Structure 1
C-alpha cells in the first residue's frame, strides 16, 4: 500500500465526517471573499466611487457581521476537525495495538518498547496531520480560484505581475524544506542519543563507578551534546530562514502593488478600493501557497510514518492499520449526560490503555509475566470445551515441540514430555541449552513451530491464547515490575477477593518483607522495582502468579536470587496452599532438583536425559556437572 492509498483509506474510514469537515473548512476559507468586497466598497465610498448605498457605517456593520460569522464558522470547523482526527488516530492505534497483542509474546514487537511507544504516538500524529491538512488545501484552493477570478476581472496585468513573483519565491522556499527535513531528522536523532545516554548513565551508575569510567562517560556524553548543539543550530537557522521568507512575502507583494498601482490610479483605471482588495486577498493567497507546501511536507512525513508503522506489523499487510473497526465510543442504555461523561472518561482511558497496553505488551515481549498476556487477550472467544476452561488439568502432553530462531537457527528440536496433575517437573541444563525457549514455545510466547500440545488429550491449537489464567500462570526469569504500589504490581488489575492476596503473599514468602515496607502493600516500589532487592522482586513476581490460582504454574528460574532457606519455604508453602498444584520449573538449583518428581535435562536444544535426580546422577554427565557445580557454589 503506497502513501496515497494509505491517506485515502484513512479519509474513507469516516467519509461523512471527513466531507463535513472539508465542507466546513472550505466555507471558512471562502468566507474572506465577502469581507474583501465589502472593504473595496468601503474605501471606494470614501472617494465617491462605491456602487452600494449602505454608507460608511452600514459597510462597517457588514464587516463586523462578516468577522463574527467567520469566528462562528471557525469554531464549527475545529469541532468537526477534532472529531474526525480523534477517530482516525484512535483507529490506527486500536488496529496496531490489536495486531501487536495477537503476536506471540516474545516477538510481539521488533523494536524496543520506547521506540514502539514513539510509533504509537508520533507516527500516528503525523498521519493525522497529513489527512487534516488535505482539508485545508482543498478549501484554500477554492479560495485561490474565486479570488483570482475576481482580481483578474479588475486588472489581469497587475494580478499576474504581483502574484507570479510571490508564487515563485514561496515555491523556491518550499523546495528548501527537503533540507529542513534532513536537518530536523538529524536534530531528533542527536537528541535521542543524548536522552538515551542519560538513561544509560542513570541505570548503570554503580558499574561506571566500579570501573572508574566517570571521565570517559562524561567525555562521551559531552560529544553527544556537541553533536546535538550543531544539529539543532542548523535546524533552527533553516527554520528561521524559511519563516522569514513566508512571513515577508506579504510585504513583498504589498510593495509591488504600491509600485504598480500608482500609475494606474493616476490614469483612473484603478481605485483605492481596488488597491485595498488586492492587499486584502494577498494575505490569503500567500497562505494558500504556504499551506500547500506544508501539506506536501506532511505527506512526505506520512510516507516515513507509514514505513515505521508497517515495521511493527512484521510482514503483515499495511491494510491492517486502516481496517474498519468500531471504537465503542458510545454508551447504550444510559442517560445522555451520564453517557457523555462516561464517553469522555472512556476516551481518556482508551488512550491510557493504549499506552499502558502497549507497554504491557512490550513487557510481555521480554518476559510475559504471570498471565498479563492472558488478561489482555480475554476478549478472544475460545473454540472448544477445553478452551472454555471447563476441564481442570489432568495431563499435559508435549510431542515433537520444535522452534528455531530465524536469525541464528538455534532453538529447540523434537521435545517430548508429559505433566501429570500435582507433579513438580524441573527443566535444567547449561546456559543456552534451550530451557527458556522451551517454556516460551509451550506457552505460545514464540510463534508456533512444529509439534503438538494436548491438554487432557485435546489438542491446543493456539497456545498463546490458551495458556492464560486460570489455566496457566507464568513467572519470567527477570520479573517486570512497574513504578506503582506493590499491591497493584501483584494484582495487575485483578480484583482483590477474600484472602487471595494474603494467601499469595504467604505462599511467596513475602509477608515479612511487606510488613517492613513503610506503607506496606501501598508502597510505591519505583521504576522496575528499584526499591526492592532481587529476591523481593522475584517473590513479588511469584505472588503475582500465585494470586491467579491457575491449574499450571510455570517458573523460569524464579529462585535464582533467593537463598536456600527462602526457596525451600516457597516450594513448601506453595504445595500447602494447593496440594494438587502442577508445576513446570526451569532451574539448576539443588532445592528444586531434589523436590522434583521428574527432571528434564536439556543440551543444545534437545532433551539429553530425563528421570529423577537419583537416576540422572548415575547416567547423565551434564546433570552431575550441574548438581556438583551448584554444590560447590553453595560452599
Structure 2
C-alpha cells in the first residue's frame, strides 16, 4: 500500500462524513471571496467607479453579514472535522488492536510494549493529522480556483505573481522529502525506545533493585534520552526551516506584488479597488501557500507512520489497517452493555456445542531460534475428563498446550472439536469455549478483584465460587483491604502461590467447557495443593480439564495421563498403567515423592 492509497482509504472510511466535512471547509475558505469583492466596491466607490451603488452603510452591512456567515460555517466545520477525524483515529487503533489480539501470544507484537504504545499513539496521530489536512487543501484549492478566475479577469501578470510563491513552496517541499522522512523516522524510533525503557523499568523494579543495577539502568535511560533529544532537534529544525522558507517566500512574493501594483496604478491600468482586492486575497493566498507546504510535510511524515504501523501487522495485508467496521461508540447501539473490544474479538466465533471429544492429530511447532518444540502430537480428550500432561523439564508440555490453544502458531496439525476442524485456535479457544491459566501468571497493578474479573461482570456468586475453588478465601481475609487490595506491578505484593491461585480464580470465574492449567501448583505447599486439586475436581461440573503438572496430587486425580518426552508423546494411560510400564513416569512419580520428603 502506498502512502497515497493509505490516505484515500482513510478519507473514504466514512465517505459521506468526509464529503460533508470537505464541503463545510470549502465554504469556510470560499466565504472570503465575497468580502474581497465588497472591499473592492468600497474603494472604487471613493473614486466613483463602483457598480453596486449601495452606499457606505450598505457595504458595511454586507461585510458584517459575510463575517457572521463565516463564523457560523466555521463552527459547523469544526464539529464535522472532530466527528470525522477522531472516528478515523479510533478506527485505526481498533483495527490494530483487533489484529494484535487475534495473533498467537508469541507473535502478538514484534516490539516492546512501550514501542507498541508509540505506534498506537504517535503514528495513528500522524495519519489522522495528514488526512485531516486534506480537507483544508480541498477547500483552499476551491478558493484558489475562484480567486484566480476573478484576479485573471483583472490582471494576468499580477495573478501569476500572486501564485508564484506557491510553486516555490511545493518545489522546496518535494526536494526536502527524503531528509524530512529520515529525520521523522529517527525521531519516532528514539521516542519508542524511551517509552519502551520506561515501561521496562516500571515492570522490573524489583529485579533492578536485587541486581543493584540502578545506576546502569539510569545511565542507559539517559543515553536513550540524549539520542531522542538529538533526533527530535533535527526533526523540529527541519520542520521550522521549511516553515521559514514557506513564510519568507510568501513575504518576498508580497513585496514583489506591491512594487508591480504601484507601477500599474501610476500608469492608470490598475484601480484602487483592484489593488485592495489583490491585497485582500493575498492574505488568504498566503494561507494557501503555507498550508500546502504543511500538508506536504504531513503527507511525507504519514509515509513514515504507515511503514511503522505495518510492522505491527507482521506481514498481514495492509488493508487490515483500514477495515471499515462499526465503531460501537454508544451503549446499546450494535453492542450490549458492558461489551468490549476483547469480547468482540475473542467471541467472534459462535460458542461451540458441548464438548464431547477434542482430537489433535499431527500437531507440530518448532521455535525458530532453537528448533526445539513438539512434533506430530496425537491425542484425544473426552468431554468431562481430567487429563494431565506430564514429563521432564523441556519435554514440550507447555509448548503443547500453548500450540493447542493458538498461543503459538502451529506449523502443522489438525484440531477438531466434536469432529469439526478448528480453523483459528487463537480465536476459538477463548471463553466460553475454553479458559487458560498460564505457567507464569500475568498480574496488573490493580486491585485483586479486578485482576480476577478482568472486566467481567460479577454476578450469581461466581466470584465467591472461583475464590473458594482456588483456595484463596484465607488469603483474602488476611489482606489489608481484602479483594480491594492493590497488588502492585506484576502482582509483586503477592507470593508465588497467591499469584498462581489468583490466576486459577481468574480462569474459574469464566464459565468454560475446557479448562487448561499449566503447572498451576508448582509454588504451593503440600496441604494447599491437595485442597486445590480436590476442590477443582469436585467443582468443575461437566467441564473438561487439561492439566500440565508433574505433581502427584494432580496425577492422582487424573482420568488419563500423557507423558511427553523430547517433544513427542512417549506414553499414555492411567497412573497405575504408567507406573507399571513407563520408566519416565516412574521417575517423575518417585521424584515428586523425594521432593516432598
Q: TM-score normalised by the shorter chain: which range applies?
A: 0.7 to 0.9
Going from structure 1 to structure 2, the CA distance change for 1:125 and 1:426 (only over 3 Å counts) comes to same
* Aligned residue runs from structure 1 range 14-33, under 5 A: 14-33=14-33
Partner residue, 2:396: 434
Moved more, 202-211 or 615-624: 615-624
Residue 574 of structure 1: how far off its partner (Å): 1.8
Residue 553 of structure 1: how far off its partner (Å): 2.1
Partner residue, 2:447: 485
Going from structure 1 to structure 2, the CA distance change for 1:445 and 1:188 (only over 3 Å counts) comes to closer
Residue 530 of structure 2 corresponds to residue 568 of structure 1: yes
Partner residue, 1:338: none
* Aligned residue runs from structure 1 range 187-586, under 5 A: 187-327=187-327, 353-354=340-341, 357=342, 376-381=345-350, 387=352, 389=353, 391=354, 393=355, 395-405=357-367, 409-420=371-382, 423-447=385-409, 449-455=411-417, 460=422, 463-578=425-540, 582-586=544-548
Partner residue, 1:73: 73
Going from structure 1 to structure 2, the CA distance change for 1:436 and 1:270 (only over 3 Å counts) comes to same
Moved more, 413-422 or 609-618: 609-618
Partner residue, 1:604: 566
* 1: CA distance, partners of 2:337 / 2:84: 16
* 1: CA distance, partners of 2:572 / 2:125: 54
TM-score (structure 2 length as normaliser):
0.87
Contact 2:443 2:451 in 1 (8 A): yes
**DSSP 3-state at the match of 1:428:** strand
Contact 1:96 1:313 in 2 (8 A): yes
Residue 209 of structure 1: how far off its partner (Å): 3.7
Going from structure 1 to structure 2, the CA distance change for 1:157 and 1:97 (only over 3 Å counts) comes to same
**DSSP 3-state at the match of 1:584:** strand
Moved more, 449-458 or 562-571: 449-458
**DSSP 3-state at the match of 1:403:** strand
**Residue-by-residue CA offset, 1:76-111 (whole Å, 9 max, x unaligned):** 222333333344444444444444444445544444
* 1: CA distance, partners of 2:329 / 2:209: 52
* 2: CA distance, partners of 1:75 / 1:183: 36
Contact 2:168 2:249 in 1 (8 A): no
**DSSP 3-state at the match of 1:415:** strand
Residue 501 of structure 1: how far off its partner (Å): 1.8
Residue 190 of structure 1: how far off its partner (Å): 2.3
Contact 2:185 2:304 in 1 (8 A): no
**DSSP 3-state at the match of 1:481:** coil
Residue 38 of structure 1: how far off its partner (Å): 1.8
* 2: CA distance, partners of 1:482 / 1:406: 30
**DSSP 3-state at the match of 1:558:** coil
TM-score (structure 1 length as normaliser):
0.83
Residue 449 of structure 1: how far off its partner (Å): 5.0
Residue 505 of structure 1: how far off its partner (Å): 0.9
**DSSP 3-state at the match of 1:427:** strand
Moved more, 249-258 or 543-552: 249-258
**DSSP 3-state at the match of 2:379:** strand
**Residue-by-residue CA offset, 1:150-181 (whole Å, 9 max, x unaligned):** 33333333333454256425642564364344
Moved more, 581-590 or 443-452: 443-452
Going from structure 1 to structure 2, the CA distance change for 1:272 and 1:173 (only over 3 Å counts) comes to farther
* 2: CA distance, partners of 1:162 / 1:614: 94
* 1: CA distance, partners of 2:186 / 2:412: 45
Partner residue, 1:369: none
Going from structure 1 to structure 2, the CA distance change for 1:227 and 1:347 (only over 3 Å counts) comes to farther
Residue 68 of structure 1: how far off its partner (Å): 1.2
Residue 415 of structure 1: how far off its partner (Å): 1.8
* 1: CA distance, partners of 2:525 / 2:455: 30
Going from structure 1 to structure 2, the CA distance change for 1:211 and 1:113 (only over 3 Å counts) comes to closer
Residue 346 of structure 1: how far off its partner (Å): 8.1
TM-align CA RMSD:
3.5
Residue 66 of structure 1: how far off its partner (Å): 1.2
Going from structure 1 to structure 2, the CA distance change for 1:327 and 1:162 (only over 3 Å counts) comes to closer
Contact 2:203 2:489 in 1 (8 A): no
**DSSP 3-state at the match of 2:347:** coil
**Residue-by-residue CA offset, 1:181-234 (whole Å, 9 max, x unaligned):** 433332332233233333333333443344343333333233223222222332
Residue 549 of structure 1: how far off its partner (Å): 4.2
Contact 1:106 1:440 in 2 (8 A): no
Residue 13 of structure 1: how far off its partner (Å): 4.0
Residue 312 of structure 1: how far off its partner (Å): 3.9
Contact 1:250 1:282 in 2 (8 A): no
* 2: CA distance, partners of 1:22 / 1:128: 15
* Matched length: 597
**DSSP 3-state at the match of 1:559:** coil
**Residue-by-residue CA offset, 1:542-586 (whole Å, 9 max, x unaligned):** 011222343432101122222232222211222243476643211
Going from structure 1 to structure 2, the CA distance change for 1:213 and 1:500 (only over 3 Å counts) comes to closer
* 2: CA distance, partners of 1:330 / 1:394: 39
Contact 1:173 1:245 in 2 (8 A): no
Moved more, 28-37 or 103-112: 103-112
* 1: CA distance, partners of 2:256 / 2:391: 84
Going from structure 1 to structure 2, the CA distance change for 1:262 and 1:229 (only over 3 Å counts) comes to same
Residue 535 of structure 1: how far off its partner (Å): 1.8
Partner residue, 1:85: 85
Residue 540 of structure 1: how far off its partner (Å): 0.8
Contact 1:126 1:301 in 2 (8 A): yes
